[in-house]
Structures are given as structure tokens and as C-alpha cells.
Amino acid sequence: MAGETIKSRAICLRIAPWSRTSHVVAWLTPSGIVNTVVRGAQRPKSAFLGQYDLGYTCELVFYARERAELRALRECWPVALRDELRTSLDALLLADRFRHLCELMAPNGPEAQGWFALLENALDALVEDVKAPRGRRANPLAFLVAFEMRVLELAGIAPEISGDGGAFALRGERKMPIAPAVAACLAAPMRETSPAVLRDATRALGVFYAFHAENTVGGRRQLVETISRNQSMKGEKEQ
């Protein structure tokens, strides 16, 4: 068993130090979260130098030890670097939020395939948006609402939203009123062009997360405020 290996495509979620020269890397694979030890990763002549970074999609070969919390990484090579994300603060912040949600909520087993596809497609969409001409880029909050709504769907806790607004249910008997424009935005966020409606939809969704997935909301308010401020500054420069 010690010599058997698994080959899998994986998205790099988190990198943490393991020792002066080694890393622990968390990955999302089509089978779930895998944590690997990358020994000697920071040595000058390491074969792993430049082969992985946050948001990369890589091909991995790691040792198969089902009961081990940490697997030893044997081989790794990148297949999608997404370096464009590092040229936009908003895209970088969104990518971090997407990875964080998947690490916290993605299951292990066959259902993880949907989560892997969601994250890979969302990161690729951010790359394409960064590469688009400035006047044709989407509001970053639309990406946030779209991703967070899809996460809730995959987790089986998506809010029920009536087409004419009204309210969606929170935990227990509580209801949160939402305007018709917000309801439409939550149903199709990438079609929304109003920054004000997107901000309202983002706030409403944040309340839902606080009630139903409270472990995922840390830092979310700062993320939304930073993106909103950046968008306001860009709008002022264009006027």
C-alpha cells in the first residue's frame, strides 16, 4: 500500500509552511479535498519550484494512504496557471473567496466533481474577464453572487426566492424581505448591470450565509467593501 500512487487533476487551494523547506498544500480534486506534504519544496533545486501556486490547476501524483491526513506528493506539474488573476486586485480577492468556500464546504466522494467543475469554471471566467477590454468587464460582485448562489445549490441549502421579490426564508421561521430587483439579481446575477442592485443582493446573500453557513463569512464584509470601493474609484476616473 505504501508504494501505490494516485494521479489526479487538482486545484491549489492553500499553501502553508511545514518546515523550513517544505509545504503543506490543500487541493480540491474531483474526489474531494486532499492535503499533501511537499518535502523540500523551497530548496533551490527542488523539482517542485514553480510547479504549483494558489489557483493553479495541476496534475498530481501522490501516495495512496486512505487513513493519512497528509499524503506525500510525488509529482506535480501545472496545466493552468491563471497568472492573469494576479494583475487585478478584485479578481485576486474573488479567487481567494472561491477557494476558501470550496475548502470549507466541498464534500469528499463523487459529489466533489460538481465542486471541482464549479471552481475551475469560476476561476477561468475571472481570467477571461480580466483579459476583456475595460468597458466590457463585468462587475466583480456579479461573480461573487453567482458563485455563492451555486455553492448553496451544491450544498443543498439554496434560498427559495419568489420571482416578485417578497422574502426568502432564513433558519427557523425567520423571513428576509427582498425587492423584486434583488430577487431577479440572485436568480441571474451575471445579467445584472446596476451596481446598487448587486450590492443589495450581495448584502442579502451575506445574511443568508450568516444564518446557514456562518463558518464561511469571515472576511466577507471586507471583501465586499473593498470591491465596492474599487469599483466606485474606477467609475470616478472614467467620468
CA distance 52 to 111: 25
Helix H or strand E encompassing 185: helix 180-187
* pLDDT, mean of residues 214-239: 84
- Domain boundaries defined on the chain: 5-80, 84-238
Amino acid 237: pLDDT:
59
Under the banding of pLDDT at 50, 70 and 90, the label for residue 164 is: low
What are the beta bridge partners of residue 61? 7, 75
CA distance 66 to 9: 18
Residues of the chain with pLDDT > 90, as a percent, come to 80
DSSP 132: S
Instruction: Classify residue 94 as exposed, middle or buried by CB count within 10 Å of its CB (0-12, 13-18, 19+).
Output: buried
Contact (CB, 8 A) for 220 and 209: yes
CA distances from 78 to 32, 54, 56, 57, 70 (A): 19, 11, 7, 6, 21
Nearest-Å Rg of the Cα atoms of the chain is 20
Amino acid 1: pLDDT:
40
Under the banding of pLDDT at 50, 70 and 90, the label for residue 238 is: low
1-43: per-residue pLDDT in tens?
A: 456 899 999 999 999 999 999 999 999 999 999 999 999 999 9
- Its pTM stands at 0.93
Contact (CB, 8 A) for 26 and 38: no
> What CATH superfamily classification does 5-80 receive?
Nucleic acid-binding proteins (2.40.50.140)
44-94: per-residue pLDDT in tens?
A: 999 999 999 999 999 999 998 755 688 999 999 999 999 999 999 999 999
Under the banding of pLDDT at 50, 70 and 90, the label for residue 160 is: confident
Q: 13 — alpha (psi -120 to 50), left (phi > 0) or beta?
A: alpha
